[in-house]
Amino acid sequence: MDWILKSQKKLDEKLLNRLKSVQSNTSQKSDPIPLLIRLTNEAKAKKITDLCSLTAAEKETHNISEIHFLAGRIKLENIRKLADHADVAMLHLDAPVKASLDVATPSVGGSYAKNAFGLTGKGVTIAVLDTGIHPHPDFVQPVNRIVEFVDFVQGRTTPYDDNGHGTHCAGCAAGNGIASGGKYVSPAPEATLVGVKVLNATGDGSVSTVIAGINYCIQNKARLNIKIMNLSLGVEAYTSYINDPLAQACESAFNAGILVIAAAGNSGPDGKVNSPGIHPRVLTVGAIDDRDTVSLSDDIKAAYTSVGPTIDGLLKPDLFVPGSNITAPISPNSTLTFQYPGLLVLNGQYMKISGTSMATGLCSGAAALMLQAYPSYSPQRIKLIMLQTIQVFNNENEARLLLQEVFKLTTSQ
């Protein structure tokens, strides 16, 4: 117990509590713990075995040393050694992460942008870090816009989505509506997509797996022209964004020139905003209920949306976008289709569901239109312009992304 107390400055709160519990329970002392290791900027270590020797029961699960993270399943004695190592900045428990249009698209301004400016998201790539992506007709016809797929869960090489959540979020952003005869069209129907599977069939994953997906996007940004990262997922935030590993990984993506858009979470007004949405550089999205009308006058903030302030006192979400009863593509024979068959639309090609995840997808599609119009704009500039729409629409029911106002603002920049 003494070493745990002496090392607590290097142990996050959840890991500290876990270690105290294990230390007092003899039967658990030999069990490996899912660990996320944040390296110092000066660290020479490139893998966990550079820091300590691993037993047969231990293993490195993710090597993300480019952005100073390693992950593995590590026993108590080796955690002690890691806490003493000069190359280690912080140790975190590798926490679990969860997955958090016909009417919604015109209300967010997508139809306006297409009609007034001819914008469809063409030339902009959105990376969707989620449960995967199904090659739905809305993505692959008349041309395949899924330009790459990578699977950090099962290692498969062809696009699939065994849960359905990722396909729906991708559809909110960039579905072209071809399977619905043009009825369910997203804001950016010609944007290209990269499917990054970081969550499993039940919509669950780990912080380290999501960070591995973020690192992949950074590494392949130039090759795939990744401009936007859609993170319709989250983990409970219990520390400052300065110490939060997922928030810090998103900062690395932002600094690399990728606009990071994340869901606030679905815990309601009394719930905390999820990480990575706690980071000030992340564009954090809440949901509104547009009451299935294009008119703004009856819109209300969705009761399920998590609302700040964050631990750091930041007011979040940044924007509110339609997120209730959104119809978008779904993956057949996936978890969501089995759990909620009554929500399927058009012979199971689409599903109508709600959440800040859906709002995040719509926001990513809207951002793609801006980046098509202004490809040289930085993530910071795009985010600031979007936030200016809140100043234009100041009351609570209208604190939302309206592309009409966005494009008025961008033309005056």
Percent helix / strand / coil, the chain, rounded to 5 = 35, 20, 40
CATH for 180: 3.40.50.200
Q: What is the domain range of residue 79? A: 2-94
Burial label for 24, CB within 10 Å (0-12, 13-18, 19+), is exposed
Q: Are 172 and 185 in contact (CB under 8 A)?
A: no
Q: With 60 as the cut, is the pLDDT of residue 410 above it?
A: no
Q: Are 151 and 308 in contact (CB under 8 A)?
A: no
Q: Comparing 23 with 393, which gets the higher pLDDT? A: 23
Q: With 70 as the cut, is the pLDDT of residue 68 above it?
A: yes
Residue where one domain finishes, among candidates 94, 119, 138: 94
> What's the pLDDT at 115?
60
Does 87 share its domain with 114? no
Distance separating alpha carbons of residues 305 and 317, to the nearest angstrom: 9
Does 90 share its domain with 108? no
Does 151 share its domain with 252? yes
Q: How many domains does the chain have?
A: 2
Place of tokens 């309206």: 402
At residue 396 the predicted structure's pLDDT band, cuts being 50, 70 and 90, is very low
Annotated catalytic, 130? yes
Distance separating alpha carbons of residues 59 and 47, to the nearest angstrom: 11
> What's the pLDDT at 258?
98
Place of tokens 């990269």: 194
Q: With 60 as the cut, is the pLDDT of residue 98 above it?
A: yes
Average pLDDT over residues 244-255: 97
CATH for 27: 3.30.70
- Residue 303 CA, distance from chain mean position: 21
Residue where one domain finishes, among candidates 67, 94, 121: 94
Does 358 share its domain with 281? yes
**Percent of the chain residues past pLDDT 90, beyond the cut:** 66
Distance separating alpha carbons of residues 191 and 373, to the nearest angstrom: 13
Average pLDDT for the chain: 87
pTM of the model: 0.91
- Which candidate in 130, 244, 289, 318 is catalytic? 130
Annotated catalytic, 161? no
Does 127 share its domain with 265? yes
Average pLDDT over residues 180-196: 94
Q: With 60 as the cut, is the pLDDT of residue 334 above it?
A: yes
Residue 182's CB is within 10 A of a number of other CB atoms, namely 11
- Which candidate in 62, 85, 165, 168 is catalytic? 165
> What's the pLDDT at 294?
53
> What's the pLDDT at 111?
58
Does 71 share its domain with 146? no
> What's the pLDDT at 69?
97
Q: With 90 as the cut, is the pLDDT of residue 389 above it?
A: no
* Least confident window among 83-87, 307-311, 384-388: 384-388
Q: Are 94 and 209 in contact (CB under 8 A)?
A: no
Q: Comparing 296 with 227, which gets the higher pLDDT? A: 227
Q: With 50 as the cut, is the pLDDT of residue 391 above it?
A: no
Average pLDDT over residues 306-320: 90
Does 202 share its domain with 156? yes
Distance separating alpha carbons of residues 244 and 119, to the nearest angstrom: 36
Q: Comparing 287 with 393, which gets the higher pLDDT? A: 287
Q: With 80 as the cut, is the pLDDT of residue 401 above it?
A: no
Residue where one domain finishes, among candidates 42, 70, 94: 94
Does 65 share its domain with 114? no
Burial label for 46, CB within 10 Å (0-12, 13-18, 19+), is middle
Q: With 80 as the cut, is the pLDDT of residue 145 above it?
A: yes
Q: Comparing 347 with 116, which gets the higher pLDDT? A: 347
Distance separating alpha carbons of residues 8 and 90, to the nearest angstrom: 10
* Radius of gyration for the alpha carbons in the chain, expressed in angstroms and rounded: 21
> What's the pLDDT at 114?
62
> What's the pLDDT at 102?
46
Residue 357 amino acid letter: S
* Least confident window among 16-25, 42-51, 401-410: 401-410
Nearest CA among 395, 397, 381, 280 for reference residue 406: 381
Does 280 share its domain with 343? yes
> What's the pLDDT at 94?
96
Distance separating alpha carbons of residues 72 and 323, to the nearest angstrom: 36
> What's the pLDDT at 5?
81
Q: With 80 as the cut, is the pLDDT of residue 291 above it?
A: no
- Which candidate in 232, 275, 331, 357 is catalytic? 357
Average pLDDT over residues 303-327: 88
> What's the pLDDT at 169?
95
Does 141 share its domain with 159? yes
Annotated catalytic, 279? no
Does 184 share its domain with 114? yes
At residue 384 the predicted structure's pLDDT band, cuts being 50, 70 and 90, is confident
Distance separating alpha carbons of residues 52 and 15, to the nearest angstrom: 19
Q: Are 143 and 314 in contact (CB under 8 A)?
A: no
> What's the pLDDT at 387?
80
> What's the pLDDT at 395?
40
Sheet with 96-99: list strands edge to edge: 204-206, 96-99, 233-234
Residue count of the chain, please give it: 413
* Least confident window among 223-227, 257-261, 314-318: 314-318
Q: What angle do CA 152, 86, 205 make, to 5 degrees?
A: 20
Using CA atoms, how far residue 67 sits from 40, 63, 148, in Å, is: 10, 10, 22
Q: With 90 as the cut, is the pLDDT of residue 399 above it?
A: no
Q: With 80 as the cut, is the pLDDT of residue 122 above it?
A: yes
* Structure tokens that stand for 10 in this block: 């290097």
> What's the pLDDT at 135?
98
* Terminal CA-CA length for the chain: 58
Does 112 share its domain with 88? no
